[in-house]
A and B are shown apart, each in its own frame.
Chain A
Amino acid sequence: MHEIQSKTVPSVDVKQVKCIHGFEAIQRDYPVYLTDESKLSAKPFDYLWFPKDELELAAVIREMSRLNIPITIAGARTGLVGGSVPQAGAMISLEYLDKVEGLFYDPLLEEWHLRAQTSLSLKAIDNMLQFKQFPSLEKHLDEWVRSNFARFKEDPNNYFYPPDPTEMSASLGGSVVTNASGARTYRFGPTRAWVRGLRVFLADGEYLDIPRGKYFASPAGKFVISNSRGEVKSFNIPGYSLPRTKSATGFFTAPQMDLIDLFIGSEGLLGVVSRVDVALAKREPKISIIQFLDSEDQALHLTHALRSDGRLQLDFLEFYSENALKLLSDLQIAEPATVGMPAIPPQARAAIFFELSFDPKQEALDFSALEETIASCGADLTNSWAGYEPRELERLKVFRHLLPETINAIIAERKKDIPALHKLGTDMAVPDVHLDEIWQLYKQRVQEEDLEWAAFGHIGNNHIHVNILPRNLSELEKGMVLYEEFATRAVALGGTVSAEHGIGKIKRKFLTLMYTPEQIEQMRQVKLAIDPQGLFNPQDMFLGEVAQ
């Protein structure tokens, strides 16, 4: 079925919705809303809305539509490309829509689904699932919700929600519209793979309920959306092919695609996601291992070996370059308590960080496959750190996050002298076969340009973050030229310019590296069909004005 009808919600008076009027008041009393994790600065905007439920959200959208005022949608404002930083008009902060609405078992898919409002944080979800503590469901007025929750509690298994972007304070809805991924995307796929249903408010204030597996593009690639007033919008899905890597660049498209996938990763350009259903996976005991290595080449070798060994099922596969380890070693000397780990082996020149299933209670542990694979690359399991208790897993995770935090701290220090400086972190991914080639290019070019840099990240998905740390504006300039060179090469190799951060406002020109003007026009036509006024996030993804 490719036709779907939107529904209305009862009207409420928009005057009852909490709103801060005027940029002066917003600047004075609500300064945190003037930027997000990208550190991009807002331009003056006139309304800061805080709807407390879907009725108020619909009222705000209708009002802004009536006044033709563009809307920037904000969740937890943890994005890295400025998506939630307004450049004009109004901001809708969805932070009050943060309730859990239910846990339901899907007998067909044989999986539990969590239904939550858009702004529930991923960290809150993880905590609640870990302890099976959902106070709002315990006391829910609906008997059916309560009984499903009781059934969930009785289930002897423990569950978790697999997508794990680095910033777990991210909101569920934000992670959906950015199709967020993280380390565990290596095994579990990005957010898209776990979304089972969405409620999306459109520019006319009506909403769509979109379960996965119900609405598919027609064989000709068409979707039709009608509303309660009988107005009909129809559009064709874009005709380009997606890269053969994980990607957060532009709208999703595929022959006879599911409508839900159009909204996932659409960066809030098509509507406001207010409610999300996601699937949960069984929580199994794990072990995380940081394997220290003699060289970066050995790290690449081991990556290929671990990926191709069918006996091993890793949850993630991450990389540290030599200079990344050096940064951490220096930090360890200066602040050993901050690092909280034993000394990094001085002979280590690279490391691979991975996780796999591990039951410590098993009498006999057979990890011969892993031992053989590690040994086949000339590495030694003695040079590793391993942890399987929850607090040890957390300790290694904290260690992983320390590197980007250290880089950010170095740049923040330099910014005190040169305010225009910022770090440059690449976000490209390429297909498996081109990992070595893109790595050699990264390394050779940053060294040729004599830039300070460190590389780390999702090598399992060929998605290494090369972080350039400019010491002055001339190096920043050089770094930006390199960034474009890397992006161009990644696209030429069949990869993506943005594997997880998205396009937002900051990376719009990179969309044009990956897609032709005709293909971008196809995306723009989808946007205009669903949001003809260009109401939602009009400064994102596309260069120039969206609305015609």
Chain B
Amino acid sequence: MKIVVCVKQVPEVTNVQVDPVTGTLIREGVQSILNPFCEYALDHAVRMAKQLENAHVVAISMGPPQAKDVLLRCLELGADEGILVTDRQFAGADTWATSYTLAQAIRLAVPDYDLILVGKQAIDGDTAQVGPEIAEILSLPQITYGIQIGLSPSGRQVRVTREVEQGYEVVEAAMPALVSFSKGEMVRRAPSFRDVLQAREKPLRMLSAAALNIPEEELGLKGSFTQVVKVFPPPEKKTGRLLQDLEAEEAAQAIFDYLIERRFIE
């Protein structure tokens, strides 16, 4: 069985600081990491592969050359092979152009895939579009918000437990299929030092735009339906008004007056 896991390099957002003057992100000192939801997807892939014979996990990422770091991380965490789809022509790609490029890379580099696993979204863009778009482009059944994965008793279908608002549902799909993952009850892996060293011995290759055989107008900014015009933090919320050192009755009256004044009640 061949399992492809699409992964993305994202900034470590817990450390991101916003410049108070310009309102832009301070990039200095901010680390890049494997998107956590992609890590959950990879974890499911590795777990599944360990239970199957002849399973092979391929991690694939589209990004700048430094995105190689997250593929190395995937190899440490148990992927067997890494593919970095990288080219200057990909710059400015929106979710559609990214999905199209990744789908084409999967078609060409791993044509015999059985499953494509993705994180439900990346923590930087938060669009949650790339996984479903890849499934559409490749005409695959897709199951989103998965938290558990396995094969049906016949072994021919994938069986996924997915989060829904009311609880969970278990659904099956014919393979090949695409599954996106939420966090679920996952405890993240910790590679051994042996894994870290051996990851450097595993195959990690690059694919350029030329290798993908996609017309130039379908790539990057040119191939994008949308453009990011500006990124800015949400406006700071005004601090509320705190009523202190008042008797309950006085406080209630003050709140009542405020609601009247603002016409919340009449």
Q: Which residues of A contact B217 (CB under 8 A)?
A: none
- B33, CB-defined interface residue at 8 Å: yes
Per the bound structure, the CA–CA distance linking A370 and B197 in Å amounts to 12
- B12, CB-defined interface residue at 8 Å: yes
What is the minimal beta-carbon distance from B206 to any residue of chain A, in angstroms?
A: 14
- A262, CB-defined interface residue at 8 Å: no
Q: Which residues of B contact A341 (CB under 8 A)?
A: 187, 190
Residue from B72, B193, B194, B197 whose CB has the most chain A CB atoms within 10 Å? B193
Of A337, A367, A389, the residue contacting B197 (CB under 8 A) is A367
Of A360, A384, A396, the residue contacting B194 (CB under 8 A) is A384
Q: Is the CB of A132 within 8 A of B29?
A: yes
- B31, CB-defined interface residue at 8 Å: yes
- A494, CB-defined interface residue at 8 Å: no
What is the minimal beta-carbon distance from B98 to any residue of chain A, in angstroms?
A: 24
Residue from A289, A291, A364, A390 whose CB has the most chain B CB atoms within 10 Å? A390
Q: Is the CB of B194 within 8 A of A381?
A: yes
* Subset of 24 A-B contacts with CB under 8 Å: A130-B29, A131-B17, A131-B26, A131-B28, A287-B196, A291-B193, A336-B187, A337-B187, A340-B187, A340-B188, A342-B188, A360-B69, A360-B72, A363-B200, A380-B194, A381-B193, A381-B197, A382-B194, A385-B191, A386-B190, A386-B195, A389-B33, A391-B14, A395-B190
List 13 additional contacts besides A133-B26, A341-B187; criterion CB under 8 Å: A131-B29, A132-B29, A287-B196, A341-B190, A342-B188, A342-B189, A367-B197, A384-B194, A385-B190, A386-B191, A386-B193, A389-B33, A395-B190
A128-161 contacts to B (CB < 8 Å)? 130-133, 158
- B192, CB-defined interface residue at 8 Å: yes
* Chain A, interface residues (CB within 8 Å), range: 35 or more
Q: Which residues of A contact B26 (CB under 8 A)?
A: 131, 133
Q: Which residues of A contact B69 (CB under 8 A)?
A: 360-361
Q: Which residues of B contact A49 (CB under 8 A)?
A: none
Which residue of A is nearest B36, CB measured?
A391
Q: Is the CB of A382 within 8 A of B197?
A: no
- A236, CB-defined interface residue at 8 Å: no
What is the minimal beta-carbon distance from B259 to any residue of chain A, in angstroms?
A: 33
- A481, CB-defined interface residue at 8 Å: no
Q: Which residues of B contact A390 (CB under 8 A)?
A: 12, 15, 31
Q: Which residues of B contact A361 (CB under 8 A)?
A: 69
Residue from A337, A383, A386 whose CB has the most chain B CB atoms within 10 Å? A386
Per the bound structure, the CA–CA distance linking A133 and B17 in Å amounts to 10
Q: Which residues of B contact A131 (CB under 8 A)?
A: 17, 26, 28-29
- A255, CB-defined interface residue at 8 Å: no
What is the minimal beta-carbon distance from A11 to any residue of chain B, in angstroms?
A: 37
**Given A131-B17, A133-B17, A360-B72: A387 in contact with B28 (beta carbons within 8 A):** no
Give the top 3 A-B pairs by smallest Cβ distance, nearest first. Answer: A385-B190, A386-B193, A131-B29
- A388, CB-defined interface residue at 8 Å: yes
Which residue of A is nearest B26, CB measured?
A131
Per the bound structure, the CA–CA distance linking A340 and B190 in Å amounts to 10
Q: Is the CB of A386 within 8 A of B187?
A: no
Q: Which residues of B contact A387 (CB under 8 A)?
A: 190
Of B192, B194, B196, B200, the residue contacting A388 (CB under 8 A) is B196
Per the bound structure, the CA–CA distance linking A396 and B191 in Å amounts to 12
Per the bound structure, the CA–CA distance linking A431 and B31 in Å amounts to 40
Per-position binary interface string of chain B over residues 18-29, scored 1 when its CB falls under 8 Å from any chain A CB and 0 otherwise = 000000001011
